[in-house]
Structure 1
Amino acid sequence: MGQRRWVFLLAVFAFLLSFSSGTDVLKLKSDDGQPLYNHTLTMTLVEYASAVYMSDLSELFNWTCKRCNGFTKGFEVIEIIFDVEHCLQAYVGVAKDLNAIIIAFRGTQQHSIQNWVSDLFWKQLDLNYPDMADAMVHHGFYTAYHNTTVRPAVLGAVQRAKKSYGPNINIMVTGHSMGGAMATFCGLDLVVNEGEEKVQVMTFGQPRVGNSAFASYYSLLVPNTFRITHDHDIVPHLPPYCNQFPQKTYHHFPTEVWVRDNFSNLISAEKVCDNTGEDPTCSRSVKGNSISDHLRYFGVELHCETWRQCSIVMSHEMDRFSKKDSKGNLIMSRTLPSTNGNKTDTLIENGDL
């Protein structure tokens, strides 16, 4: 019995070693200046990605929800954006322990994910990305970030946070599922259009968003990016990658980190994949056939608590922080102190957005 136990432990050790070789999760950058995967930061950001699914905006705004604990304790929300017209939700805030502005985007609602996955099987590239030759992207993902109330509210909150906490603060963008796709466009937007230099993107269960030309541009402009994929999660396999047309098909950008569950889900092993975005030894080595793997990363739930579509809960005490436009889209905004001790203006004043 004792010998079998030692064989089991040695097998576990060998498995973990094979998935962690060549990485040092305690370092943020390699010797040549390239970003390195950091497990502790990942465990923090997955909690931020989970919290954005909360429908009680009062608890989310005050960071008292049951998902607002653990590594994210003490986080200050600056702004919550709820776009009822397109069923989108995001928030912006400051994590003082990370010296970073956190931007989190909500993914697809759990009740509609079956239809959403079905649509992605047939989705074709359909939008030329501005000022990037040959780069094409998914129209729906692009529109969700660029052509809704989300983008101006997020960028405005980032600027207010920088005025209050200093221009050198880091920016970390995260999201799960479709929220990961929106996080991609947000990170690129911050670099290309806003001139930000300290931008890091980490997504969970993100679908492909563009072709290989877009992936190349993106990896060059936002190199500090990690896509976390979980075991047989179906969504990172969508829209499908076609080997016969590598330049025309959807193509992931690097760097993928593939998380596998083993030994009855008691152990998770993380493999940092190559710099192609389509490493055949990572998630592409298995069939993407699991929705349950998509909805849970590192034991953290990444979906809404209820099946209600695009609904929120908010106490009347929060009315002074919130404004709606004529379509019912909502922004909750907190006034921040400026660097000189005065109060900065919020994005919203009396009246509609």
Structure 2
Amino acid sequence: MIMERSKLLTLLLLLGLIGVSFSIELKPEHGVHFPVYNHTLAKILVEYNAAVYESDLTELFTWTCSRCNGMTKGFEIIELIVDVQHCLQAYVGFAKDLNAIIVAFRGTQEHSIQNWVEDLYWKQLDLNYPDTPDAMVHHGFYNAYHNTTLRPGVLDAVKRAKKFFGEIDLIVIGHSMGGAMAAICALDLTVHHGIKNIQVTTFGQPRIGNAAFASYYSQFVPNTIRVTHEHDMVPHLPPYYRYFSQKTYHHFPREVWLYNIGYGSLIYPVEKICDCSGEDPSCSRSVMGNSVLDHLVYYGVNLQAESWNSCRIVSGPHLSRYTTADNTGNIILSKDPGSILHLVNAVSGDGASAS
């Protein structure tokens, strides 16, 4: 047994599979430059994404929740948007350590994850993307961002933050259905609002549209990383049919596939940087997408709410001065970016003390 493990270890070292990422690199076309994967940044961003599942609005808005710690400590929310009508949630805020504005989208809670995944098998490409006639997108993902309170809330917060903080990076993140909304949001901010320096990182994101849409998206938002995990079923949906390339759903690049290799006590994590096609057959497509558990945990971080069967929120009266609500009960909690910078500078000693 010791001899067998020694041989396996030697083989893995020769293949370069231990403790490193490996990839098949293709030259980008038409001057498009695809992003470089940063392991540390991805682990920070997955913690930010976990926090958006918090249902206690007081703890989330003040960034005091149990998930609002670790590598995200000190983050300041500018705007928290809760679309109660459609059970959606997102926030926009300032990360001093990253010197970036973060926009985070929560995945679906409207039904159980199993029922939502099953529904994706039957969704069809039935909506033309408005800016290019050949591009088609999943109407549910498109509407979840464009036809809810999320879009106006996010746009308002991003514009206020960019006006105050200047041309710092904007990082848009999302898990599951939230990953689809994150990508659509980034495209909207780039194409319709001229915002530059946008990075996108998604976790367990489903396919959004057809190949024409994936190409269009990559042209405008090339700095995108889609992280997938082991046998996570959601990145396999809606299904990809290779013999119907123009009509089928198609991922955009760049995928980073997380999986384990080895056996027994010799298990090693691998982070594989995939090719520029968006549908690298040697990455997550090389395995069956049959795991809900792999969908709910990325980098060891739990990405789910207390319950997938409800849209429960908790709020307190002391948030009333930050709160606006519409007649359907949707909520926006908002802060002035100037007060955030004042607090950040006070803590770091870079400016005047907080009063």
Normalising by structure 2, we get a TM-score of 0.88
- SS of the equivalent of 1:203 reads strand
Q: Give the Cα–Cα distance (whole angstroms) in 2 for the partners of residues 111 and 215 of structure 1.
A: 27
Q: Give the Cα–Cα distance (whole angstroms) in 2 for the partners of residues 136 and 291 of structure 1.
A: 27
Note if contact 2:23-2:274 (Cα within 8 Å) is conserved in structure 1: no
User: 1:100-119: per-residue Cα shift (whole Å, max 9, x none)?
Assistant: 11000000228521111111
1:344 maps to none
Note if contact 1:110-1:303 (Cα within 8 Å) is conserved in structure 2: no
1:321 maps to 322
Amino acid at match of 2:234: V
Question: Does 1:304 pair with 2:319?
Answer: no
2:223 maps to 224
2:29 maps to none
Note the 1:146-157 alignment, pairs <5 A: 146-157=146-157
Closer, same or farther: CA 340–184 of 1 in aligned 2, 3 Å? closer
Normalising by structure 1, we get a TM-score of 0.89
- SS of the equivalent of 2:121 reads helix
Note if contact 2:84-2:311 (Cα within 8 Å) is conserved in structure 1: yes
2:236 maps to 237
Q: Give the Cα–Cα distance (whole angstroms) in 1 for the partners of residues 20 and 274 of structure 2.
A: 9
1:231 CA displacement:
0.6
Note if contact 1:62-1:77 (Cα within 8 Å) is conserved in structure 2: yes
Note if contact 2:19-2:269 (Cα within 8 Å) is conserved in structure 1: no
Note if contact 2:34-2:254 (Cα within 8 Å) is conserved in structure 1: no
Which is further off, 220-229 or 332-341? 332-341
1:23 CA displacement:
9.3
Note if contact 1:126-1:136 (Cα within 8 Å) is conserved in structure 2: yes
Amino acid at match of 2:141: F
Structure 2 residues without counterparts, runs of 5 or longer? 26-31, 343-355
Amino acid at match of 2:120: L
- SS of the equivalent of 1:226 reads strand
Q: Give the Cα–Cα distance (whole angstroms) in 2 for the partners of residues 184 and 289 of structure 1.
A: 24
1:286 maps to 287
Closer, same or farther: CA 54–264 of 1 in aligned 2, 3 Å? farther
Q: Give the Cα–Cα distance (whole angstroms) in 1 for the partners of residues 201 and 280 of structure 2.
A: 18
Q: Give the Cα–Cα distance (whole angstroms) in 2 for the partners of residues 243 and 340 of structure 1.
A: 50
Note if contact 2:99-2:168 (Cα within 8 Å) is conserved in structure 1: yes
Amino acid at match of 2:38: N
Note if contact 1:204-1:227 (Cα within 8 Å) is conserved in structure 2: yes
1:307 CA displacement:
4.6
Note if contact 1:226-1:255 (Cα within 8 Å) is conserved in structure 2: yes
Closer, same or farther: CA 308–128 of 1 in aligned 2, 3 Å? closer
Q: Give the Cα–Cα distance (whole angstroms) in 1 for the partners of residues 68 and 24 of structure 2.
A: 30
Structure 1 residues without counterparts, runs of 5 or longer? 25-31, 342-353
2:196 maps to 197
Note if contact 1:110-1:304 (Cα within 8 Å) is conserved in structure 2: no
1:211 maps to 210
Amino acid at match of 1:274: D
2:163 maps to 163
Tell me the percent identity: 62
Note if contact 1:163-1:338 (Cα within 8 Å) is conserved in structure 2: no
Q: Give the Cα–Cα distance (whole angstroms) in 1 for the partners of residues 305 and 111 of structure 2.
A: 9
Q: Give the Cα–Cα distance (whole angstroms) in 2 for the partners of residues 340 and 247 of structure 1.
A: 48
Amino acid at match of 1:292: L
Note if contact 2:123-2:238 (Cα within 8 Å) is conserved in structure 1: yes
Aligned length: 333
- SS of the equivalent of 2:41 reads helix
1:164 CA displacement:
2.0
2:346 maps to none
- SS of the equivalent of 2:295 reads coil
